[in-house]
Structure 1
Amino acid sequence: MPSLHDAARGRILFGGDYNPEQWPEEVWADDVRLMEEAGVNSVTVGVFSWAMIEPRPGAREFGWLDRLLDLLAAHGIGAVLATPTSSPPPWMGALHPETLPRTEDGALVNYGSRQHFCPSSPVYRRYAAALTEDLAARYADHPALTVWHINNEYCTHCWCDETAGHFRRWLGSRYTTLDALNDAWGTAFWSQRYDTWAEILPPRRAQYMRNPAQELDFKRFTSDALMECYTAERDIVARHTPHIPVTTNFMPLWSGQDAWAWAEQEDIVSVDVYPDPTDPHGGQYNAMLADMTRSQARGPWMVMEQAAGPVNWRDVNHPKPAGLNRLWSLQAVARGADALCYFQWRQSRQGAEKFHSGMLSHAGEEGRTFREVRRIGAELALIGAEVSGTEVTADVAVLHDWDAWWSSTQQGRPSSLVSYTELVQTWHRGLWESGISTEFARPGGDLSAYRMVLVPQLQLLGDAAVDNLVAYVRGGGTLVCGFFTGVVDTDDRIRPGGMDARLRELFGIRTVHEWWPLDAGATVGCDGFDGTLWSEELEPDGSAETVAAYRGGELDGLPAVLRKGTAWYVSTLPGPEALRGLLGRVAADAGVRPVLEGLPPGVEAVRRGALLFLLNHGRSPAAVELPGRYVDLLTGEAADGGVELERYGVAVLGDVRA
């Protein structure tokens, strides 16, 4: 199977989305000149070019793309060639309105933007396949082609009649019989029993709350329906070019795609990463997305998009302070990225994204943005051969699961203040601030390589996943589990006792009498810390140690944190400092150590292969003590016993001598 390593060939791929069709052709020569100056060796082309290639049904206008790819090849710049199927041309919506998606209210989503297609539409799929076939056949042997990029940011949802029929077929395959579906969905509640398959619809707008099991299955179906679109195009290009790796870009923490399942269908796992430059936790968020994507890729991965400066879709779009683009870019490389790309190369002068930054901003080649891009390109050239293809290892895994996430968003839950993604980020932050390397894993996956496994929250856990966690602990692993976990099965059915019985035995809990969610801003006193967001009325079975008890209120004296052997249960959310301390204590007991001891606040240390990356996320310089002799590959200077990092500074240290 082709890989990112094959495409990179011992380098870090560096570049971005290139949309030359927005510019007069005489600009192209200037583009490639500046690309060479910036060290760009890869650009993504064709993402939104469907109307340029097929201006009317069945037409093919490849001449401009021929000239573009020839120009790139002549200058040694590789092409990540996209199938432009994420944005159908206006003629498709005008001639075939049935290809347009409908909202859950039944309203038509018209063309005039992007992603305006129904994934279940056979007409859309037929046109997309025909265009992909011709694109792959024409450029299969082109020397510029290095990677196939299918579609772009699959994020379309649809509730139309075509989707309804597709949903029914998907359900038929999953359940076989209506009796099985009625049981899984609990349709005895509110007189929802289905007598024929034709009665079943997507969860459209309803009078009151909708069936949560139906909504869960529709989310599963939507991910699968989009994947059918992806695999159809992937199979076409793979048939023409079995030696060229294929990807499609995930959006960070996008709920609409089960990225674990999607990653198994990709040669390269790629993601679009856009931390907010004003977010004080932006560096940790960037690290978390890198850890998650690397785990899905099971090795090196690709930043398909990031911003060189401001974006255009926040309420206030702040530019990146000087040095932050470089810091976050090299942080991604430190955490396993072998490709570093931007949206986009040249900032647009027209259209909805004309205020979204580019590598080459409106200020041109003399602008600060391009100067910083040029520096990043030069530094990637210095370290590429040393870092490309190397691994990042970790002793700790955070469990993350789309079914559990989807289940946690249903209406009628105990607290709408509980956000699955915020919990994942909060727990990851506790490890990141402690300097502990982390990966992500599926609850049913192989956990044997990890000394410690964290479960911030998994409301839904299937039987196999529960058995996997129990076996992990029985095998000597350390498990730390957050509140409201193991509450429902895969059909979103509540487990007796308020938690799966096997987990209750694992943690020493006889029963969960009540869940006690907290109001916004409220806290509950515990031994040594305040709990936030949530608490639980637990009855222990006498086999576990109460590490911390609730103090005051209705739960006074009841356990807040339980420990039974190497299994820990945390029934509230400790504040950031308390959570960091708890996770650090458990990690130390499990034999997990930080990458580098004694780091100043805001400095991150990551080992990738034989290299040690030091990254200063602070706005002031920082001095880092080192346990040996190193050479900074970025400067060529020795770093014996210590190194000084400027504001947002980075050092890449190699040639370790004890």
Structure 2
Amino acid sequence: MINEKLPKIWYGGDYNPEQWDAETWAEDARMFKLAGIDVATINVFSWALIQPSEEEYDFSALDATIDRLYKDGVYICLATATGAHPAWMAKRYPDVLRVDKQGRKRKFGGRHNSCPNSPTYRKYAARLAAKLAERYKDHPGLLIWHVSNEYGGYCYCDNCAAAFRVWLKRRYGSLDAVNRAWNTRFWGHTFYDFDEIVPPSELSEEWGHNRTNFQGISLDYRRFQSESLLDCYKIEYDELKKVTPNVPVTTNLMGFYPELDYFEWAKHMDVVSWDNYPSIDTPVSFTAMTHDLMRGLKSGQPFMLMEQTPSQQNWQAYNALKRPGVMRLWSYQAVARGADTVMFFQLRRSIGACEKYHGAVIEHVGHEHTRVFRECAEVGRELGVLGDAILDARVESKAAIVYDWENRWAIELSSGPSVALNYPEEVHKYYEALFHMNVQTDMISVEEALDKYSLVIAPVMYMIKPGFADKVEAFVNRGGTFVTTFFSGIVNEIDLVTCGGYPGELRKVLGIWAEEIDALLPGQTNKIVMNGAVGALNGEYDGSILCDLIHLEGAEAIATYGEDFYKGMPAVTVNKYGEGEAWYVATSPDKAFMQGFLKNLCDKAGIRPILDTPEGLEATVRTKDGKRILFLLNHNKTASVADMGESVWTDALTGETRRGAVEVPAHGVVILTEGDASHV
């Protein structure tokens, strides 16, 4: 478990008592008890209060807050407050201010506004983390450290330029190697001195969103900035661990956030935490996929749901309320997929600035007689009933989808073939089909071992990193099923094209080579014509976005294109390789194809759904001590019924024995543990 001091699913969230008075604190304490709140994340943006000047530190208010909360039964998720530097620091040391992509030097303001390569920022951030660790190392209320907050944003200042050159020397060893990696003989870009290299801003190589003259330069700058921000995190992590080696450390991630390589970040986090803010129209399957990605960052280790809103957000275009029951439903969706905490932003609504209309457990009305508070209190009561029954339970999957941030950067910078190509959305198309079948799926990195899986899918694997093709070949050879798609195997890890025919290093295992790639206009499709029935697949389907024109080199064409000059060329292929199969889907198919295709592959691989349920009723299992915990999550506006057959389960919240038909109310949740509790 995350910390044995609190052996249950943690319940709470961000709390900003510095914005309130003593009378409000007392009321908060009363209402926290009513809601079952047992963890507060504090000190997230309090650097200016703690350090009013360069040499002055004042921890008195923080001391009082931690003591007061702990006395009232609330444990502490203690942030290091380094997400926004103080105004005096920006005034006295302008090197802490970022330079944006347009070359403009920032003024003080906002948050996440510090240059990650500023010596000043790193010095004072490390010092503050060390002081916090020393001061609170023995406090019984300290559960976990929360470093900074929602890292993100790039900087293009002179400090970053100098650090980028050092990074390049370390990565490539020589300027000749840099020139080769970036193909600088194109457009006369040969560098003769490292000092000639500048960041790829809109003053140099880039323009607009993800548009660049030199993909290699821009790709490396994204790697460098992700590592620079990670270094800032690691500086604080090291200071905290020197003093409190047994207190876990995290920082809150943001799902599919594009700028940081979270697989690399997770290696340096004791536990992954993330902030879940779907829109009202975000597919529930996409949220589920994001939970699975967060779980996959540390090879299946349970994660923290650090933030969600109890009701509405304030920063989206249309900030709809969460309908009755939805907050509870989405909270348990996180738990069902590996979360061992349910936490909110925020516990009490602010009265000013840009988050005053962001939802909270305690609304502006200030009392407990609100729909939102009643729902929060009910979840708090239920988590108390569950106790430690779910803690550390794992999600076991035989199917996996490969996701890679560097691959995403390379695709987005690729300068073609289509602006409609969206890597996370293409990944989601495959995940969604498995989700609707209730097939549990891990989201994994290219570094993850494949041995435990029967089915591995790598959509749009444009960039093939060293060793990945060999790993795939070994996986398929010993009986695994591998799937990849159009625009795969194009470049290596430095974004240079692998010559000899697409899909490059995957050509052998797939048994094909691709000659050209056609980009279809918005709304335009080609036909995927099945060459006879294949499991649940038969007839014709639509393919969109891109169409690879491929030739067979041992593979079999399962389907062909139905239109245009490449009518009759393979659109879907399978290659027998050793004991297994490697599939290639040469276009982006419609949902009907996806559903039949994935069902066919799962059937052949012996992967069974958790449960056959009506549309909109999600079934997920976590396993602990050999026993299954089944979550039934109804995303429908009406009740749904799951047929449990003759198996016997116990309702984890009521203790009732359940078998046969189990009704789940609209937007409701049923949690069942394996076996009859009355016989235990």
- TM-score w.r.t. structure 2 length? 0.94
8 A Cα contact 2:652 2:672, kept in partner: yes
Matched, 1:318 2:320: yes
Aligned ranges 1:16-31 → 2 under 5 Å: 16-31=13-28
Deviations 1:310-340 (A, max 9, x none): 1111111111000110001011111110011
Q: Judge conservation of contact 1:497–1:513 (CA < 8 Å) in 2.
A: no
Q: Does the 8 Å contact 2:3/2:144 carry over to 1?
A: no
Aligned mate of 1:375, from 374, 378, 383: 378
The residue correspondences of 1:180-329 to structure 2 (distance < 5 A) are 180-205=177-202, 206=204, 209-279=212-282, 281=283, 283-298=284-299, 299-329=301-331
Q: What letter is aligned with 2:328?
A: R
Displacement of 1:92: 1.1
The answer (yes or no) to whether the contact 2:503–2:514 under 8 Å persists in 1 is: no
Q: Does 1:414 align with 2:417?
A: yes
TM-superposition CA deviations, 1:322-364 (whole Å, max 9, x none): 0110001011111110011111110111111001111212243
Structure 2 residue corresponding to 1:595, chosen from 606, 610, 617: 610
> Which residue number corresponds to residue 535 of structure 2?
none
Cα distance, 1:399 vs structure 2: 0.1
Match of 1:10 in 2: 7
CA shift digits 1:335-394 (9 cap, x unpaired): 110011111110111111001111212243111111111011111112232111111110
Residue 154 (str. 1) matches residue 151 (str. 2) = yes
Q: CA deviation at 1:27?
A: 1.1
Determine what percentage of the aligned residue pairs are the same residue.
37
Task: Give the Cα separation in 1 of the matches to 2:637 and 2:462.
Answer: 39
Where 1:108 maps in the other structure, the secondary structure is coil
Q: Distance in 2 between matches of 1:379 and 1:338?
A: 14
Given that 2:498 and 2:505 are in contact with CA atoms closer than 8 Å, whether structure 1 keeps it comes out as: no
- Map 1:560-599 onto structure 2 (within 5 A): 560-565=571-576, 566-597=581-612, 599=613
Which of the residues 638, 642, 652 maps onto 1:633?
652
SS in 1 for 2:178: helix
In 2, Cα distance between equivalents of 1:145 and 1:456: 42
Alignment of 1:131-146 (within 5 A): 131-146=128-143
SS where residue 448 of structure 2 aligns? coil
CA contact (8 A) 1:547 1:559 kept: yes
Q: 1:532 aligns with which of 544, 566, 569?
A: 544
1:259 Cα deviation from its structure 2 partner = 0.8
Match of 1:554, as an amino acid? Answer: F
Tell whether 2:632 aligns with 1:614.
yes
C-alpha deviation, 1:640, in angstroms: 2.1
* 1:461 match: 464
Deviations 1:504-527 (A, max 9, x none): 121121x31110121111111111
How is 1:639-650 mapped onto 2 (pairs within 5 angstroms)?
639-650=658-669
CA shift digits 1:273-300 (9 cap, x unpaired): 1111233x1x212211111111113311
1:411 deviation in Å? 5.1
Report if the CA contact (8 A) 2:491-2:504 is conserved: no
Checking the alignment, whether the CA contact within 8 Å between 1:278 and 1:318 is kept in structure 2 is no
Deviation at 1:303, TM superposition (A): 0.6
Q: Which deviations, in whole Å up to 9, do the C-alpha atoms of 1:515-562 show, x marking residues without a partner?
A: 012111111111121111111111112x11111110121210001000
Compared CA separation, residues 53 and 644, structure 1 to 2 (3 A): same
Tell me how far apart the structure 1 counterparts of residues 383 and 102 of structure 2 sit (CA, whole Å): 49
Moved more, 226-235 or 248-257: 248-257
Aligned ranges 1:21-100 → 2 under 5 Å: 21-100=18-97
Alignment: residue pair count: 650
Shift of 1:247: 0.3
CA distance in structure 1 between the partners assigned to 2:595 and 2:106 by the alignment = 45
Q: How far apart are the structure 2 equivalents of 1:459 and 1:116? A: 33
Q: Distance in 2 between matches of 1:17 and 1:470?
A: 47
Structure 1 residue 165, shift from structure 2 partner: 0.2
Equivalent-residue separation in structure 2 for 1:171 and 1:325 (angstroms):
46
Q: Is the Cα–Cα contact under 8 Å of residues 2 and 248 in structure 2 kept in the other structure?
A: no
1:654 aligned partner: 673
- Which residue does the alignment assign to 1:340? 342
The 1-side partners of 2:198 and 2:504 are apart by 35
Alignment of 1:494 with 2:497, yes or no, is yes
Q: Measure, in 2, the Cα distance between the counterparts of 1:502 and 1:513.
A: 15
CA RMSD between the two structures: 1.4
Is the deviation greater in 109-118 or in 205-214? Answer: 205-214
Distance of aligned partners of 1:149 and 1:569 in 2 relative to their CA distance in 1, 3 Å threshold: same
Deviation at 1:156, TM superposition (A): 2.6
Q: Residues 8, 357 of structure 1: CA spacing in aligned structure 2 closer, same or farther, 3 A cutoff? A: farther
Pair 323,273 (structure 1): closer, same or farther in 2 beyond 3 Å: same
Distance 1:500 1:457 in 2: 11
Deviates more, 1:199-208 or 1:485-494: 199-208
Q: Are residues 423 and 7 of structure 1, via their aligned partners in 2, closer, same or farther at CA, if it must alter by over 3 Å?
A: farther
Which shifted more, 255-264 or 182-191? 255-264
1:623 aligns with one of 633, 636, 641? 641
More displaced 10-residue stretch of structure 1: 226-235 or 441-450: 441-450
Write the deviation string for residues 179-216 of structure 1: whole angstroms up to 9, x where unpaired.
Answer: 01100110010000000010011102137742110000
Runs (4+) of structure 1 exceeding 6 A deviation are none
Paired with 2:6 and 2:310, the residues of 1 have a C-alpha distance of 25
Q: Secondary structure at the match of 1:481?
A: strand
Asked if the contact 1:488/1:499 (under 8 Å) is kept, the reply is no
Counterpart in the other structure of 1:444 = 447
CA distance in structure 2 between the partners assigned to 1:459 and 1:502 by the alignment:
11
The Cα of 1:430 is off from its aligned counterpart by: 1.1
> How many Å separate the matches in 2 of 1:649 and 1:8?
31
Q: Distance in 2 between matches of 1:15 and 1:233?
A: 24
TM-score normalised by structure 1 residue count:
0.97
Q: Among 519, 522, 529, which residue is 1:520 paired with?
A: 522
Distance in 2, Cα, partners of 1:446 & 1:132 = 35
- Indicate if the aligned counterparts of 1:255 and 1:402 stay in contact, CA closer than 8 A: yes
Tell me how far 1:445 sits from its aligned partner. Answer: 2.1
> 1:57 is matched by which residue type in structure 2?
E
Q: Deviations over 1:91-112 (max 9, x none)?
A: 1111111210001221012222
Aligned to 1:398, the other structure's residue is in SS state strand
What is the letter of the counterpart of residue 211 of structure 1? F
Q: In the alignment, residue 64 of structure 1 is paired with which amino acid?
A: A
In structure 1, C-alpha distance between the alignment counterparts of 2:127 and 2:638, rounded to whole Å: 55
Q: Which amino acid aligns with 1:263?
A: A
Shift of 1:8: 6.2
State the alpha-carbon separation in 1 of the partners of residues 250 and 47 from structure 2. Answer: 19
What is the distance in 2 between the residues matched to 1:498 and 1:419? 23
Q: Which amino acid aligns with 1:126?
A: K
Cα distance per residue 1:126-170 (max 9 Å; x no partner): 111111111111111111111000000110310000100000000
User: What is the aligned partner in structure 2 of residue 551 from structure 1?
Assistant: 562
CA contact (8 A) 1:395 1:438 kept: yes
State the one-letter code of the partner of 1:186: N
- 2: CA distance, partners of 1:501 / 1:520: 28
Unaligned runs of 5+ in 2: 530-539
What secondary structure, in the 3-state scheme, does the structure 1 residue paired with 2:291 have?
A: helix
Amino acid at match of 2:651: D
Matched to 2:440, the amino acid is: S
Q: 1:8, 1:277 → 2: CA distance? A: 36
CA deviations over 1:588-647 (Å, ceiling 9, x no partner): 1011110012x1110011111121110101111111110222221223333221211111
Deviation at residue 500 of structure 1 after TM alignment: 4.3
Letter matched to residue 642 of structure 1: A
